Amino acid sequence: MNIRHVAVAATLLTVALATTGCGPDDTPGTGATTTQAAPPPAAASSAAPAAPAAGQAVSASEEAAFEKAFHDSKNCATFFKAHKVLLANSAGPGQLKAVKVRTDCTQYGLTLDTSADGSVLKVAANATVVVLTKPTSGKDFPKYEAKKVSFEEFTRANKPCFDIPDPDRRPAGLICEPFFEYTVDAGGAVTSMHQTWEDQG
């Protein structure tokens, strides 16, 4: 799909985290700290759908389905009638500063318009975020491995495309653009986010 380039991929966006900054123990290849022991099964049980703090891997089939739908030029108009995109600026407890991206499906493909003013979005208590962790070796979808984390974890843990001052620490081949497909509840609070990227083709 031919998508107009709206952000410089080489420029890292630093998310202003309200809790912690970039630490040397973050693992850029996974997007989450993996040295912490997992909680016992009994303690992990909860009625809330939020992902555990350490995150959980998204299956290749699930990520492939999302990527294919997002980048499918033939069904662009249908997909984006039901899906919204934001450009993340910073994240903190219970809120997200972002630009609501206008998506236009044209004969040339998807155009992402980020010219709108940024705004502060409320985030639901059990919101989850799917972040890209590293590129796959295959030519087909999925292009990236992904992990689901709670929004709370997202605000405090360093992710591949956020809060990494040294580009050399990023996973090789990862396109660092802060675009997310997102959903909201009836009150307008963000309930889920799924990191995506701008197709340069």
pLDDT at 148: 96
Q: What is the mean pLDDT of residues 8-26?
A: 35
Query: Domains of the chain: which residue ranges?
Result: 51-196
pLDDT at 18: 36
Q: What is the mean pLDDT of residues 57-84?
A: 95
pLDDT at 1: 45
Closest residue by Cα to residue 159 from 16, 30, 8: 30
How far is 199 from 73, CA to CA, in rounded Å?
11
pLDDT at 64: 97
Q: What is the mean pLDDT of residues 4-32?
A: 37
Confidence label for 120 from pLDDT (cuts 50, 70 and 90): very high
Q: What is the mean pLDDT of residues 94-105?
A: 94
Quick check: 107 pLDDT over 50? yes
The torsion angles phi and psi of 83, rounded to 5 degrees, stand at -125, 140
How far is 74 from 42, CA to CA, in rounded Å?
46
DSSP-assigned letter for residue 127:
E
Element (H, E) at 89: strand 84-92
CB atoms inside a 10 Å sphere around CB 200: 12
pLDDT at 5: 37
Q: What is the mean pLDDT of residues 103-121?
A: 92
Query: What pTM does this model have?
Result: 0.69
pLDDT at 103: 96
The torsion defined by the Cα of 62, 104, 154 and 150, in degrees rounded to 10, comes to: -50
Collapse the DSSP code of 66 into the 3-class scheme (helix H, G, I; strand E, B; otherwise coil) and give the result: helix
Enter the tokens of residue 58.
């998204």
Q: What is the CA radius of gyration of the chain?
A: 16
Quick check: 178 pLDDT over 90? no
pLDDT at 72: 92
How far is 33 from 36, CA to CA, in rounded Å?
7
Lowest mean pLDDT across 61-70, 163-172, 190-199: 163-172
Mean pLDDT, the chain, integer: 75
Quick check: 4 pLDDT over 80? no
The torsion angles phi and psi of 49, rounded to 5 degrees, stand at -85, 0
Q: Read off the pLDDT of residues 33-63 as tens digits, 9 standing for 90 and up.
A: 334 444 444 443 333 444 444 789 999 999 9
